[in-house]
Amino acid sequence: MPDDLPAAATAAQLAAIEAELKRSGGATGSGLKLVRNGPELARLSRDCFDYSPVLQPLLSGRLAQLVVRASRLEEVQAVAAACSRQGVSLTLRGSGTGNYGQCVPLAGGVVLDLSGLNRMRQLEASSGIVTVEAGCLLADLDRQLSVSGRSLRLAPSTWRSATVAGFIAGGSGGIGSLRWGFLRDPGNLIGLEVVTLEAEPRVLQLDAKASRPINHAYGTNGIITAVRLPTAAAVNWQQLVVEFSHWDSALEAARMLPGTALMLHTLCLLEEAVARQMPAIGGQGAGGCPVARGHRLLLLAAPDTLEILLHLMADLGGTLIWQAPEQGQRGLPLRELCWNHTTLHARAHDPAWTYLQMLLPQPEAPFLSALKQRWGEDLLWHLEGVRQQGCQRLAAIPLVRWRGAESLAELIAEVNQSGGLLFNPHAFNVEDGGLGVIDADQVSAKRAYDPAGLLNPGKLRGWSEQKP
């Protein structure tokens, strides 16, 4: 744990915060809800960090002392003002689906749940730019956009459960990254409305450049209350499952397809031993996808791609196993077998699985087979097609059998030595879960918007290290 964590709040500080919120509630007609103890407090203090056996012992049992649920901008300002005046730490929460303990309060204090702040404010007809409040669920936003023929460009596979601000502050990419790259790529975030953590909190309207340091900063340097995003024309994506008996052909298909003119929204490749652990897309029985008998390519493809795509796959020895439009489909959607949902389903099968995340070196095949040879059935390949700095690349989120911290560190070292670019999912601060380097702009934004360092303490290493 970082050694500069603030002390937990005293009973007097918490009572003063509650009294302030009550007073401000009279003025603003506040509907703030408070949770002081019990299972609800424990639930709202955690996220999905248990996918990491490294994070589990570090983060289990770290609880908020008070959870406040806000549904209006003025309420967020009231909470920020009260925490600032009392010098109590404040950790922000959307839906709590993060995997690295991003919204776990390391030092107690207050957790602010923003899931009630969830209105779509505006969809600009001429540009398709949407302004939406922080706590709106991504799937709800997509539903509202579809009325105007628009859709989100990027979404995590937790699209049904995650909030828009949680995705910006805690996520990186996912469904759509094949076409649109990652959230931090210029063009994927147009602006933010941010509340500062000060005695008199300011409400700032930040443009794309000013928003950049708050993008993927785990809520350490500003409270996002609204987000401006570009949207894309809505497509009725076709869900396709193509099976291959040979890994090399499946890998070739995954490398080749993103380089064609076919419009694809997601491309996920599972080696057979992973595919066999997945539940049936579309549900069990009639209409659902049959059990895997080979390596599987999962695709979301535009309807006009099908004729050509299926010929290309057949040329490589791929067989179409299952197909259904995404719209109106019942049961498990294909997108919930991709990205970290693959790990979720594998862990439901066997909780000894954990995972890594990396960008693969090119060519990919020698890297994949060298690691496979060395680690055998303890390392199972799950690849995702992505666009990285304008180039089509393959990322991997392999399943890794947990054999202890030493063995994991050995595997990580090997990935690094062999040219993989690792994003360690077993670290809880912004920098160590990314490229390991401090982003000075993120630290400057914290100085400007959270001068006392009260937001999500312990999660921005650059802040801890710059303090005297």
Ligand X SMILES: Cc1cc2nc3c(=O)[nH]c(=O)nc-3n(C[C@H](O)[C@H](O)[C@H](O)COP(=O)(O)OP(=O)(O)OC[C@H]3O[C@@H](n4cnc5c(N)ncnc54)[C@H](O)[C@@H]3O)c2cc1C
Q: Cis link prior to 363 (omega < 30° from 0)?
A: yes
Q: Is 265 in the site for ligand X (CB under 6 A)?
A: no
Q: Evaluate whether 175 touches 154 at the Cβ level (below 8 Å).
A: yes
DSSP 105-145: -TT-SEEEE-TT---EEEE-TTT--EEEETT-BHHHHHHHH
Q: From CA 411, how far away is CA 122, in angstroms rounded? A: 47
Q: Which of residues 164-193 bind ligand X (CB under 6 A)?
A: 165-167, 169-174
Q: Evaluate whether 21 touches 30 at the Cβ level (below 8 Å).
A: yes
Q: Is 157 in the site for ligand X (CB under 6 A)?
A: yes
User: Of residues 24, 45, 102, 354, which one binds ligand X by CB under 6 A?
Assistant: 102
Q: Is 201 in the site for ligand X (CB under 6 A)?
A: no
Pick 47 or 75: Cβ nearer ligand X: 47
Q: From CA 179, how far away is CA 387, in angstroms rounded? A: 6
Q: Is 71 in the site for ligand X (CB under 6 A)?
A: no
Q: Is 77 in the site for ligand X (CB under 6 A)?
A: no
Helix (H) or strand (E) holding 364: helix 364-375
Residue 141 Cβ, how far from ligand X at the closest point, in Å? Answer: 12
Residue 50 Cβ, how far from ligand X at the closest point, in Å? Answer: 10
User: Of residues 68, 70, 134, 313, which one binds ligand X by CB under 6 A?
Assistant: 134
Pick 179 or 247: Cβ nearer ligand X: 179
User: Of residues 66, 70, 103, 316, which one binds ligand X by CB under 6 A?
Assistant: 103
Q: Is 98 in the site for ligand X (CB under 6 A)?
A: yes
Helix (H) or strand (E) holding 80: helix 73-86
Q: Is 95 in the site for ligand X (CB under 6 A)?
A: yes
Q: Which of residues 30-69 bind ligand X (CB under 6 A)?
A: 47-48
Pick 313 or 460: Cβ nearer ligand X: 460
Q: Is 219 in the site for ligand X (CB under 6 A)?
A: yes
Q: Evaluate whether 79 touches 116 at the Cβ level (below 8 Å).
A: no
Q: How crowded is the C-beta side of 20, counted as CA atoms within 13 Å?
A: 20
Q: How many CB atoms lie within 10 A of CB 127?
A: 10
Q: Is 322 in the site for ligand X (CB under 6 A)?
A: no
Residue 93 Cβ, how far from ligand X at the closest point, in Å? Answer: 5
Pick 48 or 275: Cβ nearer ligand X: 48
Q: Is 460 in the site for ligand X (CB under 6 A)?
A: no
Q: Evaluate whether 356 touches 425 at the Cβ level (below 8 Å).
A: yes
Q: From CA 172, how far away is CA 442, in angstroms rounded? A: 16
Angle between helices 247-256 and 306-315 (to 10 degrees): 140
What residue type is 323 in one-letter code? Q
Stretch that binds ligand X, among 30-38, 120-128, 161-169, 368-376 (CB under 6 A): 161-169
Residue 367, token pair as written in the block? 């890297």
Q: Which of residues 387-416 bind ligand X (CB under 6 A)?
A: none
Per CB under 6 A, residues contacting ligand X are 47-48, 91-99, 102-103, 114, 134, 156-158, 162-163, 165-167, 169-174, 218-219, 223-224, 339-341, 344, 456
